Amino acid sequence: MNLKYKVVFIISFLLISLSVGSSVMNYKKSLDETQLQLKESSMPLSIDNIYTEVQKNLIEPTLVSSMMANDTFLKDWLMNDEQDVFKISKYLEMVKNKYNMFSTFLVSDKSNNYYTSKGMLEKVKEKNANNAWYFKFKDIQDNYEINLDFNKYMGDSLIMFINYKILDDKYHYLGATGVGLKISYINEMLKHFRVKYNFNVYFVDKEGKVVLSETSVNTLKSINDKEELKALSSQILEQSSKVLEYSSENKHYILNTKYIKELHLYLIVEAQIENFTKEVEKTFIWNLITSLIITVIIIFIILITIKDYNKKLERFASYDNLTNLHNRRTFNQYFSKALKLYKRDNIKRSIIFFDIDNFKEINDSYGHLVGDIVLKRIADILKKEVRNSDSVSRWGGEEFLILLDDSDIEASFRVAEKIRVAFETDADLQDFVKGGVTASFGVTTFSDEDTMEDIISRVDVALYEAKNSGKNRVIKG
């Protein structure tokens, strides 16, 4: 591989590795920070906010139900004054309006009458499926329960009833009382938690049964129905708060649990981690794309710069900086190729070797600056007098070599003589140097057994013969 491309490849690899590596590291760091913030800050803070909302929206009705069950007026009425339906209706209406409840109710165990703020609605009967809740509640040990039920007298809407047992001073069962809340209201509250905090909130009882959840969103009936949650049920159903993690269907979840003693329920706040890392992922992708684009631009700039410098280096390596002619190294390459072609196609090729006469005296008399100007003018003349198919080089100092294609010794002699005359008669050279500038030439042609060294040696001898015989002339070698 060309060194230029090796350098570009290595730089590109390092830049892309740095770009991708830094983006991935920042992504992982942001991901870890997001999850840590979720566990240690967002969820605890949110569960406190949710608990505050629960206290406001659920605990207050529970406390109202408890207050009603312990109200001496209600107990006295059940034991001594049940025939006065108007009195109990007003009481239930007062509680309903005061605490803004959807409904208030009372069931007398003595008469099995079901009372609301509108009066007596019905008699509860064991054979009536709609009344089964009451007899079931009567038989449980707890004095309190939350029950979801339909009530035909309330528009067949799903109602959450908070039921409390009424006991006399000797703890004999007198009946049940409580309040009802529209489940749509509860559902809106849970929806608010999901939309505002991006958390799935639900309540389970001590058996793990889901008592309250957002309809159409949370379809879980019990935590025991989901293997991953079932494995954590013993920890979930502890009265101390917990932060738990589990994975399901390639999704990762964090649970924050809190026992609400007023409701005898466990509040579970569930967060899907991916919902909180979407922005981090978007930022990662954006940063990665941006960094890669910048990296590509940098690589492109580097490639252009290297290419430009490579051209300059190649030119420095191939051309003489002063005259802009081929240097000796490049000429040798052309010379070697021309010799091989000659031995293959046998087309005549020749060499002209010349040296500027008395050039040391020009430098000594006029200075090296004028000497350089003379060399540049010599190069300009050569470019005009020599064909584009021929190769001209500065061999060194004031010596020049010309490689002529398809040219025998006589034709090459004529070219050399033409150049000699051009130097001798050039007005610019005569302005630079008093008396003008001349050169001595040696000319030779290729032969079958020649090597590069043979040809150079022969033309060099011819040049020196021209020098020794009076200069400013062309000699065949």
Domain ranges across the chain = 65-182, 328-476
Tokens of 393: 């080089």
What global pTM score does this model have? 0.50
Query: From first to last of its 477 residues, what are the pLDDT tens digits of the chain?
Result: 566 677 777 877 888 888 788 888 887 888 777 777 777 777 777 777 777 776 777 788 889 999 999 999 999 999 999 999 999 999 999 999 999 898 999 999 999 999 999 999 999 999 998 899 899 999 998 898 887 665 555 554 567 889 999 999 999 999 999 999 876 666 777 888 888 878 888 889 889 998 888 877 778 889 999 999 999 999 999 988 888 889 988 888 888 888 887 667 898 888 888 877 777 778 878 888 888 888 888 888 888 887 787 777 777 778 888 999 999 988 999 999 999 999 888 899 999 999 999 999 999 999 999 999 999 999 999 999 999 889 999 998 999 999 999 999 999 999 999 999 999 999 999 999 999 999 999 999 999 889 999 999 999 999 999 999 999 999 998
Distances (CA, A) of 161 to 25, 115, 181, 355: 53, 14, 6, 118
Contact 283, 30 (CB under 8 A): yes
CA atoms within 13 A on the CB side of 439: 28
Same fold, 65-182 and 328-476: no
Residue carrying the six token digits 């793990």: 208
Query: Quick one: 328-476 is in which CATH superfamily?
Result: Reverse transcriptase/Diguanylate cyclase domain (3.30.70.270)
d(CA 270, CA 255): 5
Query: CA angle 191-195-197, nearest 5°?
Result: 110
What dihedral angle (degrees, nearest 10) is formed by the CA atoms of 64, 65, 68, 69? -140
CATH topology of domain 65-182: Beta-Lactamase (3.30.450)
Other beta carbons less than 10 A from residue 199's beta carbon: 23
Active-site amino acid positions: 398
Q: Map residue 112 onto helix, strand or coil.
A: coil
Strand partners, 158: 150
